[in-house]
Amino acid sequence: MDIHYLKGPEIDQLKWNSCVHYANNGNVFGYMWYLNHIAKDWDALVEGDYESVFPLVWKKGFFNQMELYQPSLMREMGIYSVHILSKVRIQHFLDAIPETFKRVDIAVNEQNLPPAEAGFEVSEKTNYQLLLNPNYEELFDHFPKALIHQLQRAEDAGLALTSGLKPEVIADFFRQHTPRRRKLKQDFHALQRIMYNALHRGWGFASGVIDRTGKLYAVNFLIYSHGKVMSLAPVQSPEGQKAGALPYLFEGLIRSHAGRPLILDFNTESTNELALQFGASPRPFYQIHRNKQWWNALSF
C-alpha cells in the first residue's frame, strides 16, 4: 500500500478536498479550509493519488517532543477514503505515522476503529444523529412529555427564533456562556473564521433565540456537509436555560428541515440528554492514545 507522509505546504488542496468530498466517511472536519482554521500546524498521510488521506495535527509538547493532538472545535478526524476502510488499511495508516510523533492522542471517526494489534489505547465516545426524512408530525410524536413541557415553557416566555446573526455575535455569546476550559482566545477567532468560510460557501447559517426585548437567550451555527446539517456552536445563557431556549432552538431547526433527506448531527462527544429527547441515535467514534515519550518508560 503506497502511503506517503507530506508536510503541510506539500499537500495538493484540490486533490485533498476531492478525496474528503467523495470519501465514504467524509465530513466537514476533513476539508483543508476547516483544518487550516483550527490547527496551527498539520501534515498528512496520503495513499496513492489522494485515494485516502489522514490529517496529522501536531504541536510541540514537553522538551519540544512532537505530538499529535485533537484540536477544539473538531470532534474527530482520522482516515478519509474512497475505499473501504478495512482493518488492513487502517493498520497500514497507523503504522505509517512517523516515529517523530512520540505521543498520539486524537479522536478518529467511526470507520477508523484501530485493530487490537495496532498498539493504541482506545476509548469510545458518543455522537448523536437524527434522521430528518420523516415529516415533522412523525418526529413530534416521539418527543417525550418532558421535552414538550420545555418547548411550551419557551412559548409561554415569549421566546422567538431569529436568524442572520453575525459570526462575531455568535462567537462572543459562545465565549461568554461556555465552560471556562473552552474560553480560549484562539477558539474565539477560529470559530469566527469557520463561520465566515461556511457562509461564503453557502454551507452554513446562524440561528438564535431572543426574548420579547430582543435579548439573546441561545445561539447556534449550522453547517451543511455530506448529507448532514451539523450543530457547531449550541449555547444558551442562564436565563435561556431556565426558559428552555436551546430545546426551542433545536425544535425550530427540526421543524424547518423535517421531511428532507438530511441527518441532524448534534456533534457531541458523550451522552447528551437533549439529543436523546429529540430521538437522536448514538453513533460511536474513538479516542486513540499512544505514548512513546522517553520519560513515560521511567519508573519512580
For 233-255, write each residue's pLDDT tens digit.
999 999 999 999 999 999 999 99
- Range with the lowest mean pLDDT among 17-21, 94-98, 185-189, 222-226? 185-189
CA 156 to CA 245: how far, in whole Å? 11
* Long-range contacts (CB closer than 8 Å, 24 or more residues apart) made by 227-230: 227/261, 227/262, 227/263, 228/27, 228/129, 228/262, 228/263, 228/264, 228/265, 229/132, 229/253, 229/257, 229/262, 229/263, 229/264, 229/265, 230/27, 230/28, 230/265, 230/267
Domain 133-261 annotated CATH 3.40.630.30: yes
Residue 300: its pLDDT value, please?
41
pLDDT above 70 (res 184): no
The 10s digit of each residue's pLDDT in 263-275 is 999 999 999 999 9
**Can you give the pTM of this predicted structure?**
0.93
Say which residue, 180 or 272, is predicted with more confidence.
272
Could you tell me the residue ranges of all domains in the chain?
A: 3-126+284-297, 133-261
43-52: pLDDT as tens digits: 999 999 999 9
Considering the four listed CATH numbers 3.40.630.30, 2.40.10.340, 2.60.40.740, 3.30.300.130, the one that applies to the domain covering 3-126+284-297 is 3.40.630.30
133-261 and 3-126+284-297 share a CATH fold: yes
